[in-house]
Structure 1
């Protein structure tokens, strides 16, 4: 085999640095974009931040529509019933079910409350350790307390036994503590704030709360509290399984006594870390604002979330006057980087504005009538109309949020599959889910609608879908079947 040389021509598509940066910026969320802008400001001396850009943008609105001012935006939300799109916590009816906490809310003023600043600066374990350092424990007990705190989970429960804590200390320091001493320190940690941290399980945490309530309660409240304590201590399994008639019969109680005791138990917390210390509330800053102008809905970029950038003219002047080759090359490279970055930011805003305008224009009925009027949309349709690639549309909609008078929605929320209607036109799958939810909400509690009955009602609306499709939509809404929704009254 003899070596030889061959010459061939080929074409390859390569992205230049500016295009790569534009693609990267387009898919960033609002928070990630601010971090990237701050990084560029710190690393590039030719890039600077215009003075008072934040305050000016907050009052002046978007540059893309100078006719709008702060008063117009304020009038765009006259009946903002649910701007934050936050659901109220559901009241727990069982001792083993927790409250629901929404993670979505609007935060437009750019300032954080003292509570959130405290949450960012300290976690649950750090908060407990600080209290231990302020206590009068001995050095040995303080070391035990540190090991106890290290083994507490985010909910505040102790994840190991006292024997395992003893083994951990012995392995690290070759010293074995007495089990009673460890239990005493665990009890000390349980008295800290939040109260009940280091409880081994829910039952122990409930008993700690009841014991404290009995000590502080007046005489008329004592019998009910002690009955609740007895139920939790000796009949916890029956409580979890809701076998209340068996408990009434076994303990010779009246229905009123049982109801009073259950009411006390249901008011107790189900996790020690009720303050969520260490969990930072993540606020959503909308990228798009939707407003109503003369009966039509329009989109506007929320430009107050991004600072206004410019070239540092002092360094640009130094570039023109410099005779040093190295300095001139360094400044020239950073000047090009600054221009590319500013152009990429403009391209991002332009693409996001075009996508938002298209979505709002095609979803006018949604903003007027709600989710049941949501039209089906596909990325392909939007890409064809805007002469963009589907991947570009996907990046533009990723982690971007729109604020309307009815709430905050992710841009991807507006895209859904189409279901043909027998009466002409198409239905969005999300609109069908909303109709199913409305049917179930209005159904009789003693005779809930089955999936077949739901499919028949949808048929009357001109929506022809199979029973299994109704079941799939119902499960996506976390709604149990009719057999589980039926309410039975205790005889």
Structure 2
């Protein structure tokens, strides 16, 4: 074994990632918003790049403003235009302060109530202990409790509660038609009721179990989140990257890019700077020109790859786009990569945070990749079903079950087996949890 130091020549092959390749990979995995941000940053860095936003219309100040506006074609167009007008809304704090302005309060009460209101969460619950409120405002605990009672008397009913039990009791106490059993359950047996230990609870209370069920139905009419109605967020709209249209059983795929800016080359700036004989200026122009060309090639490659992946998904999930989500088939990224002759990681980057608009709604591209489950159609024939199909069947079985005798996970597995879908009880429980469906004991009704 030679352990001597020295200079040696060795020939080897290795794959190096160029800057252009790295940039192409980054652009492929960018979502639409990330791509717009990237292009805007590049336009700031590179004076040869100019972005033109197609969704922004410029007003010609020299045009004749006396032209008549286009009339609405029909009432439907008018309503759509009205929908674009923003509505004024009031938040929970403002609504509570507006009610307090009608009451006669001392300065200390105003200070404590303000502190309480500003420490409500989005659901209207108080997030700080009353001892801390008293300490922060340098008042007695009696004053805090009095202010809390004032807060509990405001609308929406239940605001200022410190837990769910108190929130429900505040609402029940203001209802004149509230059954006595409901008040008793919420006051003394809330944990047993919440854990659905209804049989021992009915014995303790000396009532039939169906009366517990009626009390539960009444409690469900109460609002567990009284402040949520005043906490609204603007809807986040999804802009699809691909659009599928269906005409006469013919599927067409289009790349939607109207929301992306057009990348233009600044010819005037290039001509002006080319007139300079400074070598640093020439080097700068060459570098920025290459940068522009790399971006254009990367964008073009991104378009082509997205269309290839989209077309491959349509071919594999043809029944889905014709008939609906219940016909979704099992599919892996490896199958798509082999179909379009690219690496599996390229497919993974292509579907990252990309959306496709279909006749049945807008879906994330990752939605179409689902694991397979054995499905036996006969003794000799074995087929495969996707996990999404199985979840839909589980949801359908539970939706149409007898609520007095709900299906257990094993019962669902047996029913699916009769349909030819081979699945274990543990897998049923996993899919049920993913669907946010409670267990059979919590779905059971007694009346």
User: TM-score, normalising length from structure 2?
Assistant: 0.73
Does 2:272 align with 1:318? yes
The residue correspondences of 1:66-465 to structure 2 (distance < 5 A) are 114=86, 144=112, 147-149=115-117, 151-167=119-135, 169=136, 176-186=138-148, 197-209=159-171, 222=176, 224=177, 230-231=183-184, 234-235=187-188, 237=190, 240=194, 265-275=219-229, 277=231, 279-420=233-374, 421=376, 422-449=380-407, 454-465=412-423
**Distance 1:143-1:444 versus aligned 2 partners, 3 A rule:** closer
Give the 3-state SS of the residue equivalent to 1:290 in structure 2: strand
| Offset of residue 460 of structure 1 | 4.7
**Distance 1:434-1:185 versus aligned 2 partners, 3 A rule:** same
CA RMSD of the aligned region, Å? 4.5
1:40 match: 42
Distance 2:100 2:50 in 1: 45
**Distance 1:310-1:118 versus aligned 2 partners, 3 A rule:** farther
| Offset of residue 384 of structure 1 | 1.1
Distance 1:23 1:308 in 2: 20
**Distance 1:468-1:124 versus aligned 2 partners, 3 A rule:** same
Deviates further, 439-448 or 360-369: 439-448
| Offset of residue 309 of structure 1 | 1.9
Does 2:23 align with 1:21? yes
Distance 2:441 2:163 in 1: 33
1:218 match: none
Deviates further, 296-305 or 418-427: 418-427
Give the 3-state SS of the residue equivalent to 1:298 in structure 2: strand
8 A Cα contact 1:450 1:481, kept in partner: yes
8 A Cα contact 1:228 1:262, kept in partner: no
Higher RCO, 1 vs 2 (CA within 8 Å, ≥6 residues apart): 1
Distance 2:182 2:96 in 1: 30
Deviation string, structure 1 residues 147-174 (Cα, Å, up to 9, x no partner): 435543343312221212333x3xxxxx
| Offset of residue 195 of structure 1 | 6.5
Deviation string, structure 1 residues 334-367 (Cα, Å, up to 9, x no partner): 3333332233222222211111111012111112
| Offset of residue 395 of structure 1 | 1.0
Unaligned runs of 5+ in 2: 59-79
**Distance 1:426-1:266 versus aligned 2 partners, 3 A rule:** closer
Deviates further, 262-271 or 386-395: 262-271
2:62 match: none
Distance 1:49 1:296 in 2: 36
Give the 3-state SS of the residue equivalent to 1:275 in structure 2: helix
**Distance 1:244-1:418 versus aligned 2 partners, 3 A rule:** closer
Distance 1:315 1:415 in 2: 47
| Offset of residue 248 of structure 1 | 12
Give the 3-state SS of the residue equivalent to 1:347 in structure 2: helix
Distance 1:349 1:51 in 2: 18
Give the 3-state SS of the residue equivalent to 2:229 in structure 1: coil
Give the 3-state SS of the residue equivalent to 1:114 in structure 2: coil
1:84 match: none
8 A Cα contact 2:53 2:260, kept in partner: no
**Distance 1:158-1:415 versus aligned 2 partners, 3 A rule:** same
Give the 3-state SS of the residue equivalent to 1:438 in structure 2: helix
Distance 2:284 2:397 in 1: 67
8 A Cα contact 1:423 1:462, kept in partner: no
| Offset of residue 290 of structure 1 | 1.5
Distance 1:486 1:247 in 2: 16
Give the 3-state SS of the residue equivalent to 2:224 in structure 1: coil
Give the 3-state SS of the residue equivalent to 1:303 in structure 2: coil
Distance 1:281 1:124 in 2: 19
| Offset of residue 414 of structure 1 | 1.1
**Distance 1:440-1:203 versus aligned 2 partners, 3 A rule:** closer
Aligned length in residues: 414
User: TM-score, normalising length from structure 1?
Assistant: 0.68
**Distance 1:198-1:414 versus aligned 2 partners, 3 A rule:** same
Deviates further, 471-480 or 284-293: 471-480
Distance 1:444 1:164 in 2: 50
Deviation string, structure 1 residues 190-214 (Cα, Å, up to 9, x no partner): 6777665433223433454456x56
**Distance 1:192-1:436 versus aligned 2 partners, 3 A rule:** closer
**Distance 1:124-1:320 versus aligned 2 partners, 3 A rule:** farther
